[in-house]
């Protein structure tokens, strides 16, 4: 069981993380680099002369981009460990786990780790006003934990009382509210922030759907392989 768990998580996480990293390099990183030009003053939104007359986005950097891919793969491998642990528990309760049903698990993971906190605390680019990092991190972890428990109760709850508790858990962090900055101001145009948030959510959804499908596929395949070995 341990080898099945570890192998499934490593393969699923590495594959999904590699694809997610490539998508981030193509769609997300250029927006971040663009925002950094506003943050440093190389480009200004209005009212002042830019530091450089013709600022350009930094090009390909093997060290930076390579490390970004590696860390993204490690991050999604960590997500895969959590996801497959939940899949294993659900399978013991009679749930069917394979590549197709894994897509549903992936969407649930996206909702818990990206959409639920992002509804109130949207992804942010450099140069925008933001609240204290520690306070935001506490709120983010609490929101993700509440979303995970809430989604689990919705999926495996047996009565309206349990489902009502799930709704309360999903809504509570947003009713309380995320930490907010003292003033909503910054050098980065709102259009850049909106584009970054949209692309971050889009890449996150694609990555989690792939992660769920890969995790379900490898978990099912490793289970079949172990059963065949045991019968032999």
Instruction: Tell me phi and psi for residue 59, to 5 degrees.
Output: -85, -160
Checking if the pLDDT of 59 tops 70, the result is no
Q: What is the pLDDT of residue 130?
A: 76
Checking if the pLDDT of 115 tops 80, the result is yes
Of residues 68, 102, 71, the one with CA closest to residue 84? 102
Checking if the pLDDT of 182 tops 80, the result is no
Average pLDDT over residues 62-66: 88
Average pLDDT over residues 48-74: 76
Q: What percent of the chain has pLDDT over 70?
A: 88
Tens-digit pLDDT profile for residues 73-114: 999 999 999 999 999 999 998 899 999 999 999 999 999 999
Give CA–CA dist 151/35, Å, rounded. Answer: 35
Average pLDDT over residues 216-220: 94
Checking if the pLDDT of 217 tops 80, the result is yes
Residue by residue, what is the 3-state secondary structure of 88-133? HHHHHCCCCCCHHHHHHHHHHHHHHHHHHHHHHCCCCCCCCCCCCH
Of residues 199, 198, 206, 202, the one with CA closest to residue 16? 206
Checking if the pLDDT of 230 tops 70, the result is no
Instruction: Give the pLDDT band of residue 28 (cuts 50, 70, 90).
Output: very high
Q: What is the pLDDT of residue 152?
A: 95
Give CA–CA dist 178/120, Å, rounded. Answer: 6
Going from the C-alpha of 64 to that of each of 6, 103, 156, 166, 214, the distances in angstroms are 28, 31, 43, 41, 27
Q: What is the pLDDT of residue 40?
A: 74
């Amino acid at each position: 069981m341990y080898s099945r768990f570890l192998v499934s998580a490593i393969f699923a996480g590495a594959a999904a993380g590699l694809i997610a990293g490539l998508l981030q390099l193509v769609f997300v990183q250029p927006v971040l680099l663009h925002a950094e030009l506003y943050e440093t003053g190389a480009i200004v939104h209005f009212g002042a002369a830019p530091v450089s007359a013709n600022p350009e986005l930094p090009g390909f950097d093997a060290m930076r981009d390579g490390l970004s891919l590696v860390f993204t793969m490690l991050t999604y491998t960590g997500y895969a460990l959590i996801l497959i642990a939940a899949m294993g528990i659900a399978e013991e309760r009679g749930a069917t786990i394979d590549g197709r049903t894994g897509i549903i698990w992936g969407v649930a993971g996206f909702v818990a780790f990206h959409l639920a906190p992002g509804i109130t605390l949207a992804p942010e680019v450099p140069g925008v006003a933001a609240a204290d990092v520690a306070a935001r991190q506490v709120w983010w972890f609490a929101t993700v934990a509440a979303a995970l428990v809430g989604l689990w109760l919705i999926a495996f709850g047996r009565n309206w009382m349990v489902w009502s508790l799930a709704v309360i858990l999903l809504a509570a962090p947003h009713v309380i509210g995320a930490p907010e900055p003292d003033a909503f101001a910054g050098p980065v145009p709102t259009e850049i922030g909106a584009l970054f948030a949209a692309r971050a959510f889009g890449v996150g959804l694609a990555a989690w759907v792939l992660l769920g499908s890969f995790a379900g596929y490898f978990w099912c395949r490793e289970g079949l392989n172990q059963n065949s070995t045991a019968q032999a």
